[in-house]
Amino acid sequence: MPITIADVAARAKVSKTTVSRVLNGKGELDESTAARVRAVIDELGYVPSSRAVGLARGRTRVVAMLVPSLTWPWIGEVIQGAVDVLEAERYGLLLYTCNRGDESMRQFGAQVSAKSFDGLLVIEPEGTLDYIANLHRRGLPVVLIDDRDQISGEMPSVGTTNHDGAREAARHLLAVGRTRPLVITGPERFGCTQQRLAGFEAVFDEAGHPIPAERVHQGDFTYACGTQGVTKALESGKDFDAVFAHNDLSAIGAMQALLDSGRRIPQDIAVVGFDDIRNSAHTQPPLTTVHQPLREMGEAAARTLLAHFEGTPLPNRPTVIPTSFVTRASTE
């Protein structure tokens, strides 16, 4: 049988209320009584229910994180950044995915109703923004980690500079003499896709090398869309001397298709990605890419939430952490 608070109270010859006060650090207690209770707790090996202690304190010291899936290679970096901050402050993390669609969201909603956590970090699963905004309006502290550049100002968010990162990629390609890029985009409905395309095209327009529509391939952030985009461009005879892919996964797919076709990277065609996932440094050749501050975004979102728990109002404007550019052998 598990040891209960009643067992501790009986052995220490105090009430259950006194044991609870010792556990929660509340109320005026004689130090000798408190010491006796703590000694009995150690002797019996009593482990209080974290939920019960949290409810007594008015806080669970648990943060939830809702993400679309764990299959995207960059999501782990964001989660790790959040975990680093939360664990340092002795908070736990409940991780929820939307792998099963509506069923996953129903299970998540049940945990919201049970008040199983103090606040929520979100990488928005597609189609859930209105639901999350409603939770926030009803009083649940929420911080969005915005990978799509499409979050309204209603909720605090942490994002990055997709437009500026793409401009830097374009400037780099021009600097190494590439004027005819093939662009492999992400899904058109995502704000980050629109920002990356707009930033990249603007630099080439300004340099007198506008990118025609036929050199823009609609992708979906997958490895397959990278290989398909390059293969179709080669088969149709499109003239291009570089590839700019809107994420590293599709850039790696593009590189494989180029190598399979006998093209040399970067001598024949240079390749630039976006994200700087861990694998990007280990491709052959290593991938030049725009570094998204993924771990820093997770850290900043967690710090924002924890500061709110201590009385700091949630910010009414996005926190923006800039991208940086990483040059590797795929363009040198």
What's the domain count of the chain?
Answer: 3
Q: How many CB atoms lie within 10 A of CB 55?
A: 12
Indicate whether 135 and 202 sit together in one domain.
no
Note the pLDDT of residue 114. Answer: 76
Indicate whether 120 and 238 sit together in one domain.
no
Indicate whether 298 and 157 sit together in one domain.
yes
CA distances from 48 to 20, 42, 55, 187 (A): 9, 12, 12, 48
Indicate whether 197 and 265 sit together in one domain.
yes
- Do the domain assignments include residue 331? no
- Do the domain assignments include residue 327? no
Closest CA to 183 of 136, 264, 247: 247
Indicate whether 119 and 134 sit together in one domain.
yes
Tell me how far apart the alpha carbons of residues 173 and 170 are, in angstroms, rounded to a whole number: 5
Indicate whether 288 and 304 sit together in one domain.
no
pTM: 0.80
Per-residue pLDDT of the chain (332 residues; tens, 9 = 90+): 678 888 888 999 998 888 878 876 666 678 888 889 888 888 887 766 545 555 555 578 899 999 988 888 889 999 999 999 999 999 999 999 988 888 888 888 888 887 889 999 999 888 888 899 889 988 999 999 986 655 556 789 999 999 999 999 999 999 999 999 999 999 998 889 999 999 999 999 999 999 999 999 999 999 999 999 999 999 999 999 999 999 999 999 999 999 999 999 999 999 999 999 999 999 999 999 999 999 999 999 999 999 999 999 999 888 999 999 999 999 98
- Do the domain assignments include residue 121? yes
Indicate whether 138 and 246 sit together in one domain.
no
Indicate whether 166 and 283 sit together in one domain.
yes
- The alpha-helical segments, DSSP class H, found in the chain are 5-12, 16-24, 31-44, 50-57, 75-88, 102-113, 129-137, 162-175, 191-206, 223-235, 248-260, 294-309
Residues across the chain: 332
- Do the domain assignments include residue 326? no
Range of the domain at 27: 5-57
Note the pLDDT of residue 58. Answer: 59
Note the pLDDT of residue 24. Answer: 67
Indicate whether 140 and 198 sit together in one domain.
no
Note the pLDDT of residue 1. Answer: 64
Instruction: Identify any residues that bridge with 217 across adjacent strands, giving them in sequence order.
Output: 184
Backbone angles phi, psi at 182, to 5 degrees: -95, 130
CATH number at residue 132: 3.40.50.2300
- Do the domain assignments include residue 259? yes
Cα angle 242-244-249, degrees, rounded to a multiple of 5 = 120
